[in-house]
Each structure stands twice: as C-alpha cells, then as structure tokens.
Amino acid sequence: MNRLIALLLSICPLLVLAASNEGQIYEPTRDIFAPTAAASLSQTAAPTSKKPVVLSAEQQAAASAASSAVSVLASAGAAKIATLQLYSQDELLGWIAKHQHLKRVLADECQLVPDIEARAKVMMLPSYQYLWADMLLTGTCVDKDATTGVDYMWSAAQHGLPAALLRLAQYYEKGRYVQQDKRQAVVLMHEAAALGYLEARMEWVAMLDRGLGSPLDYEEAYSWLHHSVISDDQQHARATRLLRQLAARMPANVVARAKTYKLD
C-alpha cells in the first residue's frame, strides 16, 4: 500500500506539467549567434541603464587638443605624400623659362630641398643646377650663399643650359655677384641666343640696341629674332619694338636680307 501511494505521488507532478503544456507549439532551437536571433534578442532584452561619464573642463580641453593634433598630423601626412613627386626635366625647364621655378619650390613648402640638392651635386643635372644656384643666390628655402650659387650657375652654363648663360650674361653686364665685365656679358648672351633660347635672342637684340657687341652681329641677331615663333602677345610686341630699334642701325638692304634668310 505504501508503495502504491509513493508511485502516485511521483506521477502527479508529471501529469500536471503535461496538462499545462497541452496545445503548446514548440519551435526548433535557434542559433543565438545568427543575425536574426541576435536582433531578436536585442529587441527583447531589457535596456540597461548606465550612468553617463562626466568629464571635467580640463579633461574636455585635453581631449579636444588631442583630437585637433591628430587631425593636423593626418593632414600634414597626406600633404607630404602628395608633394613627394619630383619635377621632371620638361616641367622644370618650363618653369625656368617662365621664371616660376622658385615659386614652385615655395609652393611645395621646401619639402624637396634635399632631392634638389642631390640632383644638382651628385647627378649634376643642368636644370637642377640652375634651380639650386638660384635658391642659393636668393636664399629660397636655404641660407644665402652667393659664391656657391654662382659656381652652380656656371656649371649649368658649361653643360649648355641657355637660361644659365643668359643669367650669367646679365650678372656680368650689371656687375651683380661678379665684377662688371661687359665683354664677358656679350660672349655669354650671344652663346645663349645661338642655342635658340627665345628670351636670350630678345636680350641679345636689346644688348645690341644699347650699343654693346659689334655691328657685324646685327644681321644675324635680327634674323634670329625675326624668324622666331612667339606666342605670347607681350613678348611679340617687345620683339617688334626691339627689331625696329635694331633696324634703325642697319642699312635697308641688310635688313631685307635678314628678313629673307633665316641664319640659324
């Protein structure tokens, strides 16, 4: 009898649980790490309340300063990467012809100074020697050093760079950086003009108009400039004026011959 009572007592709870679950639909076990399950859990989970962190005025100022410093460093790094491109020969010669080479170095915030110096000293590229010389002569991004600057300008001229020959001719005519020597100026300017450099041809005619050089140079100089192609309107107007002044020093038949024959 006691055994029967014990058995009934053990079965009753199971019967009660089955009755309470009768009619309930069971779902398969879900992966709690699946996106849908995670979203479901996040929607049903009770929100937790956290006490907001309050920073002091000093901490806020420090955080703001650190954020600003990171932004500045990031911007500087991006700018430095963008300006590491070295100048090609054609680019540099074009800037030299337009007298914009120093402006370009300044626009690049002097970042390429070591590379410019290396290409002037080690590789001995005439265009970079000219640029390095002008930087030293004007104190652009480096300390002024006229002696070294003139040496590098001479090196570029000896490599046949017309712009360097022209600059040296101007220095010797005016006595700037060097002792005035107009005969040396004539020789250098004539050489630069003979290489076909437009600015030198214009300056050579201007030099003859000032009474330098020889009358035997007139026809050649007139022919050089007269047959030059000039796209810039201001340069074209100046060339016309210079040729008119030189023609006044020449016989009419010599002028006509210079216009007819290109003496290059």
Q: Which residue has the higher pLDDT, 34 or 192?
A: 192
| 86-100 confidence digits (pLDDT tens) | 899 999 999 999 999
| Alpha-carbon gap, residue 195 to 5, rounded angstroms | 126
Q: Which residue has the higher pLDDT, 196 or 85?
A: 196
Q: Which residue has the higher pLDDT, 37 or 196?
A: 196
Q: pTM (2 decimals)?
A: 0.68
What is the pLDDT at residue 8?
A: 45
Cα torsion at 187, 191, 193, 197 (round to 10°)?
A: -140
| 209-227 confidence digits (pLDDT tens) | 999 999 999 999 999 999 9
pLDDT higher than 50, residue 255? yes
| Alpha-carbon gap, residue 112 to 125, rounded angstroms | 15
What is the pLDDT at residue 85?
A: 79
- Closest C-alpha among 180, 117, 122 to residue 143: 117
Q: Which amino acid is residue 24, in one-letter code?
A: Q
pLDDT higher than 60, residue 242? yes
Q: Does residue 186 sit in helix, strand or coil?
A: helix
CB-hemisphere CA count at 13 Å for 200? 24
| Alpha-carbon gap, residue 204 to 193, rounded angstroms | 7
Confidence at 48, pLDDT banded by 50, 70, 90: very low
- Token pair for residue 163? 């712009």
The pLDDT mean for the chain works out to: 81
Token pair 């023609």 is found at: 247
Range name among 4-13, 113-122, 208-217, 245-254 with the lowest pLDDT average: 4-13
